[in-house]
Amino acid sequence: MDPVNVSITVGRPREEVFAYLADIANHAEFTDHFLTDWHLTREDPVGRGAGARFRVKAPLQRFSWMGVSFIEVDAPWRIVEAGRGGKYNRIRTMTTYTLEPAPDDGTRVALSVESEPVTISDRLMESLGARSWTRRQNRRALRRLRSILEDGRHRGARVTIAGG
């Protein structure tokens, strides 16, 4: 799938936004409307190598588990997350958070999500509305991120280690 891009401006300094996003345990707070049952894959949830597994609540999704890991963490500019999901974990995904300075000591957070469907059935599922669904869910996630960082609202429970 071609990248799905969404962005938002958060009224917090870039370093603060980056520190929040660099901890993968925090991602459950602003994505729990479509990503559920989060579990960390290692003890340290911060920085390169941090990862998590979760369920994707997408329509018509039979194989909903997905795992992601941070593969690139460039403070305070960019976080790249690689993952796999779907049947036999055959669908690769790449998510990139890019943080840029904004006026009034704010931060522009740009989120890009792309996937590589392998089979014809995977491509068919993506063509049946996955792009628009992904865009909608990620727009809402970024609005929730802004709400958490600016107002402290929508704080959720902290994610734990798998099996812990």
H-only helix segments in 66-128 = 120-125
SS3 147: helix
Q: Are 70 and 47 in contact (CB under 8 A)?
A: yes
Nearest to 52 by CA among 75, 30, 35: 35
Q: How many Å apart are CA 51 and CA 40, to the nearest integer?
A: 6
Q: What is the pLDDT of residues 12-56, one digit of tens each?
A: 999 999 999 999 999 999 999 999 999 999 999 999 999 999 999
**What pLDDT is stored for residue 164 in this prediction?**
56
Residue among 69, 81, 29, 15 at smallest CA distance from 45 = 69
What dotted CATH number matches 4-151? 3.30.530.20
pLDDT digits (tens, 9 = 90+) for 54-65: 999 987 777 889
* Per-residue confidence (pLDDT) for residue 54, from 0 to 100: 94
**pTM score, whole prediction:** 0.91
- For the chain, the structural domain boundaries read 4-151
